[in-house]
Amino acid sequence: MAAEIIDGKAFAAKLRERVGTHAATFAEKAGRKAGLAVVLVGEDPASQVYVRSKGKATVAAGMESFEYRLPADTPQEELVALVRQLNADRNVDGILVQLPLPRHLDEKAVIAEIDPDKDVDGITPANAGRLVLGMDALVSCTPLGCTMILKDLIGDLSGLDAVVVGRSILFGKPMAQLLLAENCTVTMAHSRTRDLPEVLRRADIVVAAVGVPFLIKGDWLKPGAIVLDGGINRLDPEPGEEKGRIVGDVAYDEALGHVRAITPVPGGVGATTIAVLLRNTIVAAYRNEG
């Protein structure tokens, strides 16, 4: 049977529409729009593109976008002062500090300053802990989007074998917790895993987020597996190309012959992240106003 190509763009469009409705209701009730502040330190080109897209999507959903672009050499105290100012700002419901930060900054210390009630990335110690404890939490956008896609596709995930490849704070770790909460048997694989093909052989669900192009080969996948590819890797340009292609962590063309369903790159997992960010912002806005 031909593999289903999961349409992340369509999924995101539906979610954005729902968020837009909630944003309009919020604005009417609160007398102000829900607000998302995005902080970008430095000039990383990929981060600049993300931040611009986030700003546009926020406005399109009927929310207020606050953008802060700081120079690459911003001192720690200045960034912390900005986060504290945003924590105190009644018009800001969500705060996202774009990662990675320049190397001289202490990322964990900055994250710990974010008010957990405004932490739309779900990366503060409070929200990460609440997720592990099964308490109500704001949860990182990309893994939450993956969970929504999986539930939309197959409903009940109970008892399925899931392998998460990658252990970042924004993706792999929260992804594993979300799958555990859905009663999957979860294995976390990462760069030191000894035999990845062997680990993947049992996986009904594979979620990949390691940032290595085409790492996961088609014949490593269990026939009928569902694959969510969170990798966003730019290849070197081929002759005649100005920029290299964006590809995922899974050898997509090979995988098509093995899997039940797979997200393409681009247009899969990545396409949903901003929609979930808007969702988290409106959830935070209602709670903070409430």
Active site residues: 54, 98, 121
Interface with ligand GUN, residue 121, by CB under 6 A: yes
User: Do 39 and 70 contact (CB within 8 A), yes or no?
Assistant: yes
- Residue from 96, 207, 227, 278 in contact with ligand GUN (CB under 6 A): 96
Q: Report which residue's Cβ sits closest to ligand GUN.
A: 99
Interface with ligand GUN, residue 272, by CB under 6 A: no
DSSP string, the chain: -PPEE--HHHHHHHHHHHHHHHHHHHHHHHSS--EEEEEEES--HHHHHHHHHHHHHHHHTT-EEEEEEE-TT--HHHHHHHHHHHHH-TT--EEEE-SSPPTTS-HHHHHHHS-GGGBTT--SHHHHHHHHTT------HHHHHHHHHHHHHHS--TT-EEEEE---TTTHHHHHHHHHHTT-EEEEE-TT-S-HHHHHTT-SEEEE-S--TT-B-GGGSPTT-EEEE---EEPPPPTT-SSPPEE-SB-HHHHTTT-SEE--SSSSHHHHHHHHHHHHHHHHHHHHH-
Q: Which stretch binds ligand GUN (CB under 6 A): 55-63, 94-102, 183-191, 215-223?
A: 94-102
User: Do 196 and 189 contact (CB within 8 A), yes or no?
Assistant: yes
Nearer to ligand GUN, 93 or 121 (CB): 121
Interface with ligand GUN, residue 57, by CB under 6 A: no
Residues 152-181 contacting ligand GUN, CB under 6 A: 170
Interface with ligand GUN, residue 256, by CB under 6 A: no
Interface with ligand GUN, residue 99, by CB under 6 A: yes
Question: Whole-number minimum distance, CB 242 to ligand GUN, in Å?
Answer: 23
Question: Whole-number minimum distance, CB 99 to ligand GUN, in Å?
Answer: 4
Interface with ligand GUN, residue 79, by CB under 6 A: no
Question: Whole-number minimum distance, CB 142 to ligand GUN, in Å?
Answer: 6
Q: Which stretch binds ligand GUN (CB under 6 A): 66-74, 96-104, 259-267, 278-286?
A: 96-104
Q: With CB under 6 A, what is the number of residues at the site for ligand GUN?
A: 9
Question: Whole-number minimum distance, CB 47 to ligand GUN, in Å?
Answer: 7
Question: Whole-number minimum distance, CB 159 to ligand GUN, in Å?
Answer: 30
Interface with ligand GUN, residue 98, by CB under 6 A: yes
Binding region for ligand GUN (CB under 6 A): 96-99, 121, 141-142, 170, 273
